[in-house]
Amino acid sequence: MEQTFNKSEVVLVGLSEIERRSWKQKYPLLEPITDLEPTLWLNSNIKEEQHIPELPLTKEDMYEAEELWKRFAPFLKKAFSEVEETSGFIESPLKSIDKLKPVLENYYDFNIDGKLYLKSDNELPIAGSIKARGGFYEVLHYAEKLAIENGLITYDGNYELFLSEKFRSFFQQYSIGVGSTGNLGLSIGIMSATLGFNVSVYMSADAKQWKKDLLREKGANVVEFSGDFSEAIYAGREETLADPNGYFVDDESSKHLFLGYSVAALRLKKQLEKMNIKVDANNPLFLYLPCGVGGSPGGITFGMKQLFGDHIHCFFVEPTHSPSVLIGLLTGEKDQISVQDFGIDNRTEADGLAVGRPSSFATSISEHLISGIYTVEDDELYTMLTMLADNENIYVEPSATAGLLGPKYVLESAYIEKHDINTNNATHIAWSTGGDLVPDIDMKQFYEKGKSFLA
């Protein structure tokens, strides 16, 4: 398809040298950030539980979102063999990574007080990434809304009907669009095509070829862009909304994606209970969440804070070349500012995190809830990928390893003392966000690259 959008409309102009200098004077941390140095930022706007202002979502919204998943379970079970055994339930395991822990500590020269776990969303069925939570949820939510409004189903009806010819031909009248660096497009494309929607995925230059191929195979229309994620989103939004029956999944502002992610908290709580992992004042829980637009880490943080309050400490992690949420929250400008404004190129091999501008919806919530953000270099992502493979036999994509460095940054920082946290019995969970669909040949390249750094 021809690209019909005038590039000058979407190219980000950037701040003048004088403006940049004035921002840096106000926030000196911008200096190492723009120099692309790994940096830890602690959020001074974090609010204690009883002081959190009213948020645009509630705990009840999260429980309602979980109900939607339950209603669709029979449909999912029938549509996807991957979740037949789990009765249509899409969830990932929480794994202890005791063998990796000493290797990490030794290589990066630090000590992890407490235990280290991996929340293995790289294994999430069907989409192979954390986008199975937000992306699938938003498509299912939209499909349900249309079906209810048009009298095709009731909330207590048989949701296997969503696979029927009648439903499919109904959904064929509607189109869904999404802008994506890759994984979101995969999740939206797969679920939309399964339901019969006309789905178009607008992909940025850094999206991998195999993701485009897989989407086309599933029946999605793939529109490729030479520019970055913001450009793909901009164009996708315009084109999708030009169709009166068009629905755009907007990663830069979506409430539904956010809610879909938040349900992970309810699931994780159950897993923690099952594994006898306590969370209270003497047993703090640290979460390290790879961050792109901030939707998935924001939704999970929101959910966990609703359930555990001040005993949860959530840190986001971004590539040194794409610190969009970091700059947005540090300056307070949120989605009004981008990494390009500061001359940062947004070029990273962590394609799931290659985002130059944060989500407005997610950051407006995260600003009160997250403990901080740190950045990592791409080379470390590969190094940890190979370490994880060698020591735990777990294979993930580069983005997904970013959380593993969390304890190094956080335990040595002023955060622990400032909040008077007893870390002896701490639990650290690095959220592993993707990997299962990566073709073997690509995974081998990732692995070899990390191996070369370890040599």
Ligand X SMILES: *Cc1c(COP(=O)(O)O)cnc(C)c1O
Interaction site with ligand X (CB under 6 A)? 129-131, 183-184, 290-297, 352-353, 355, 397, 399-400, 433-434
End-to-end alpha carbon distance in the chain: 45
What minimum distance in Å lies between the beta carbon of 302 and ligand X?
Answer: 12
Please name every residue paired with 175 in a beta bridge, in sequence order, or none if there are none. Answer: 198, 246
Which one, 291 or 344, has the nearer CB to ligand X? 291
What minimum distance in Å lies between the beta carbon of 76 and ligand X?
Answer: 20
Helix axes 378-392, 100-108, angle to 10 degrees: 150
Report the distance separating Cα 157 and Cα 307, nearest Å: 30
Which one, 129 or 198, has the nearer CB to ligand X? 129
Report the distance separating Cα 379 and Cα 399, nearest Å: 11
Residues in the chain: 455
Which one, 279 or 317, has the nearer CB to ligand X? 317
Phi, psi of 343 (to 5 degrees): 75, 15
Host H or E run for residue 217 = helix 209-218
> Is residue 251 helix, strand or coil?
coil
Q: Are 439 and 127 in contact (CB under 8 A)?
A: no
What minimum distance in Å lies between the beta carbon of 453 and ligand X?
Answer: 20
What minimum distance in Å lies between the beta carbon of 121 and ligand X?
Answer: 8
Q: Are 126 and 80 in contact (CB under 8 A)?
A: yes
User: What one-letter code names the amino acid at 193?
Assistant: A
Q: Are 84 and 77 in contact (CB under 8 A)?
A: yes
Which one, 159 or 288, has the nearer CB to ligand X? 288
What minimum distance in Å lies between the beta carbon of 431 and ligand X?
Answer: 8
Report the distance separating Cα 334 and Cα 357, nearest Å: 8
Task: Count the Cβ atoms, other than its own, within 10 Å of residue 271.
Answer: 15
Contacts of 315 (CB under 8 A, 6+ apart): 286, 287, 288, 289, 370, 371, 372, 373, 374, 406, 409, 410
The Cα-based distances of 265 to 127, 157, 182, 209 in angstroms read: 19, 27, 24, 32
Which one, 182 or 407, has the nearer CB to ligand X? 182
Q: Tokens 């602690």 belong to which residue?
A: 42
Please name every residue paired with 317 in a beta bridge, in sequence order, or none if there are none. Answer: 290, 374
What minimum distance in Å lies between the beta carbon of 62 and ligand X?
Answer: 16
By DSSP bridging, strand 246-249 and strand 285-290 are unpaired
Which one, 284 or 434, has the nearer CB to ligand X? 434
Which one, 152 or 249, has the nearer CB to ligand X? 249
> Is residue 40 helix, strand or coil?
strand
Which one, 100 or 317, has the nearer CB to ligand X? 317
What minimum distance in Å lies between the beta carbon of 216 and ligand X?
Answer: 19
Q: Are 329 and 373 in contact (CB under 8 A)?
A: yes
Please name every residue paired with 319 in a beta bridge, in sequence order, or none if there are none. Answer: 376
Which one, 114 or 352, has the nearer CB to ligand X? 352
What minimum distance in Å lies between the beta carbon of 299 and ligand X?
Answer: 8
What minimum distance in Å lies between the beta carbon of 278 and ligand X?
Answer: 28
Which one, 239 or 252, has the nearer CB to ligand X? 252
What minimum distance in Å lies between the beta carbon of 125 and ligand X?
Answer: 15
What minimum distance in Å lies between the beta carbon of 292 and ligand X?
Answer: 3
Which one, 289 or 421, has the nearer CB to ligand X? 289
What residue is closest to ligand X based on CB?
Answer: 292
